[in-house]
Amino acid sequence: MIRPLALTSGDPAGIGPDLALTLAAETPAAPLVILGDRAVLADRARALGLDPDLPDWSPDRPAPAGAALWHCPAGATVTAGRPDPATGAGTLAMLRRAADGCLDGTFSAMVTAPVAKNVICEAADPAFTGHTEFLAERAGVDRVVMMLAAGDLRVALATTHLPLARVPAAITDAGLTRVLTILRDDLRAKFALPRPRILVLGLNPHAGEGGHLGREELDIIIPTLERLRGEGFDLTGPVPADTAFQPALLERHDAVLAMYHDQGLPVLKFAGFGEAVNLTLGLPFIRTSVDHGTAFDLAGTGRALAGSLRAATRLAAELARRAAPSEPVS
Ligand SMILES: NC(=O)C1=CN([C@@H]2O[C@H](COP(=O)(O)OP(=O)(O)OC[C@H]3O[C@@H](n4cnc5c(N)ncnc54)[C@H](O)[C@@H]3O)[C@@H](O)[C@H]2O)C=CC1
Ligand SMILES: NCC(=O)COP(=O)(O)O
C-alpha cells in the first residue's frame, strides 16, 4: 500500500468538488485524501445524487484505506457556479496543506482539481498565476516544467502562465537549458525513456524564416540546442510549430517542447481533451492535474466529465508506486 494521494478539490464553486465526489464513489486508484470544505462537498453530493463514504481524516490519524476527507474551510458560503473571491484564501490554504504534506512525506503525490486563478489573485495572492508556479515556490525550486500528456502525445512548455508580450524575453539560453534538462531527466525517471527524443518548436512563424520573421531562433534557440546536443541531448529543431504536429514527426519523438502555453496546449487538448493529464516536472514530489478548468457552467449539474481527473489520479498512483518500489502494491 502506498502513502495516500492528496486530491485538492479546487475552486469550491467549480466542478472540482463534483469530480472529487465522483472519484470518491469509485474504487480509488490508491488511498485518497480529498482536501475540501465538508459543507460544500455535502451540498454538491446532494445535488448530484451521490452518497460517497467519506470519513473525516487529519494528519494525526492513520492513513485511510480508501477515500477520506480532510476538511479545509472554504471561508464563505458557496453557491455552485458562482465564483467568490471570499473563498480565495481558503483555496490557497488547501493547496499549501497538500503541498506541505507531499514535502513532509504524509502524501505520496498531489492531484489537483482546477482553481480559478483570478479568484485567488483578487483576494488572496495577487502574484498567483497557477498551481505550477505556486508549487515551485512552495517547494523552493527555481524552475519547473508544465507538461500535458494525452496518450503518447506529450507537450511540455518552455514558459507557462506568462502574458504573450513577455514570452520572447523569457526565451533565454539559461531558461531553455533548465527546461530541457528537467524535461529529459523527468522523462527518464517517470516514463522509463532512457534517451528521450525531444522535438523543439520555434517561437516565430516558420521558426523565424532564417531571421526574416524574428531572430530568437538564430540568436538563442539554435545555439542552445546545438550546445545541448553536444552534451548528449537528443533534440530536433527548432521546427516550425505549424507543421510540427504531424504523425511522421511525432512518432519519432517522445515529447514536444512548445515555447509558450497557447502554442502547444490547443493541439494537445484537441487530441485528448477530457482524458489528458497535466504534470509538473522538476518538483521534489509528484503532482498531476486535469486538462480543463473550473467549468463554472457545469458545477452541480452532473454534466462534468471526470475522465481527466481519473486519469490524473491513476497516473499519480502509478508514479508513486514506481517511486516506492519496495512498498507492496495495494
Ligand atoms: N488546473 C487548473 O487549475 C486550471 C484552471 N483553469 C481555470 O479555469 C477557469 C475557467 O477556464 P476556461 O478557459 O473557461 O476553461 P474550462 O476548462 O473551465 O471550460 C472550457 C469549456 O470546457 C467545458 N469543460 C471543462 N471541463 C469539463 C469537464 N470536466 N467536463 C465537461 N466539460 C468540461 C466547459 O463547460 C467549457 O465549455 C479559469 O479561471 C482558469 O484559470 C484553467 C485550466 C486549468
Ligand atoms: N492550461 C493549463 C493550466 O492552466 C494549468 O495550470 P496549473 O496546473 O498551473 O494551475
Which residues, in sequence order, are CB contacts of 62 under 8 Å at separation 6+?
Answer: none
Give the closest ligand to the alpha carbon of residue 266.
2
Q: Is the separation of the CB atoms in 12 and 78 below 8 Å?
A: yes
Three-class DSSP category at 321: helix
280 Cα nearest atom in ligand 2: 8
204 lines ligand 2 (CB under 6 A): no
265 lines ligand 2 (CB under 6 A): yes
Give, for ligand 1, the residue of 294, 297, 298, 305 to mutate: max count of ligand atoms closer than 8 Å to Cβ.
294
118 lines ligand 1 (CB under 6 A): yes
Return the residue whose CA atom lies nearest to atom 8 of ligand 2. 131
293 lines ligand 1 (CB under 6 A): yes
Cell output for 66: 480508501
136 lines ligand 2 (CB under 6 A): no
State residue 108 phi and psi, 5-degree precision. -90, -15
Cα(33)–Cα(43) distance, rounded to whole angstroms? 19
117 lines ligand 1 (CB under 6 A): yes
In this prediction, residue 325 carries a pLDDT of: 62
In this prediction, residue 324 carries a pLDDT of: 84
Three-class DSSP category at 270: helix
Global ipTM: 0.98
Which residues, in sequence order, are CB contacts of 63 under 8 Å at separation 6+?
Answer: 1, 3, 4, 31
Return the residue whose CA atom lies nearest to atom 39 of ligand 1. 116
Query: What's the gap between Cα 261 and its chain centre?
Result: 13
Q: In DSSP terms, which residues pair with 34 in a beta bridge?
A: 7, 69
Nearest to 329 by CA among 90, 87, 85, 1: 1
Measured at the CA of 250, the angle between CA 248 and CA 253, to 5 degrees, comes to 120
Three-class DSSP category at 236: strand
- Count of CB atoms within 10 A of residue 40's CB? 24
**Alpha carbon of 319 to ligand 1 centroid (Å):** 25
- Count of CB atoms within 10 A of residue 194's CB? 6
In this prediction, residue 268 carries a pLDDT of: 97
Q: In DSSP terms, which residues pair with 150 in a beta bridge?
A: 153
307 lines ligand 1 (CB under 6 A): no
**Alpha carbon of 274 to ligand 2 centroid (Å):** 14
265 Cα nearest atom in ligand 2: 1
Sketch out the chain's domains with CATH numbers.
Answer: 1-141+283-330 (3.40.718.10), 143-280 (3.40.718.10)
Task: Classify strands 234-239 and 5-8 as parallel, antiparallel or unpaired.
Answer: unpaired
Return the residue whose CA atom lies nearest to atom 5 of ligand 2. 130
Residues in the annotated binding site for a divalent metal cation: 161, 206, 261
Percentage helix, strand, coil, to 5, in the chain? 45, 20, 40
Q: Put the strands of the sheet holding 109-112 in their side by side order.
A: 67-71, 32-36, 5-8, 109-112, 286-289, 277-281, 145-150, 153-157, 255-258, 197-201, 234-239
Cell output for 241: 510549430
pLDDT tens track, the chain, 330 positions: 789 999 999 999 999 999 999 999 998 788 999 999 999 999 999 999 999 889 999 999 999 999 999 999 999 999 999 999 999 999 999 999 999 999 999 999 999 999 999 999 998 899 999 999 999 999 999 999 999 999 999 999 999 999 999 999 999 999 999 999 999 999 999 999 999 999 999 999 999 999 999 999 999 999 999 999 999 999 999 999 999 999 999 999 999 999 999 999 999 999 999 999 999 999 999 999 999 999 999 999 999 999 999 999 999 999 999 998 654 444
Give the closest ligand to the alpha carbon of residue 134.
2
Nearest to 155 by CA among 257, 68, 253: 257
Give the closest ligand to the alpha carbon of residue 162.
2
Q: Which amino acid is at 55?
A: P
Cell output for 31: 488511498
Cα(174)–Cα(133) distance, rounded to whole angstroms? 18
Q: Is the separation of the CB atoms in 62 and 46 below 8 Å?
A: no
Residues in the annotated binding site: 131-132, 161, 206, 261, 269, 278, 287
Query: What's the gap between Cα 135 and its chain centre?
Result: 10
Taking the whole predicted model, whether its pTM rises above 0.90 is answered as yes
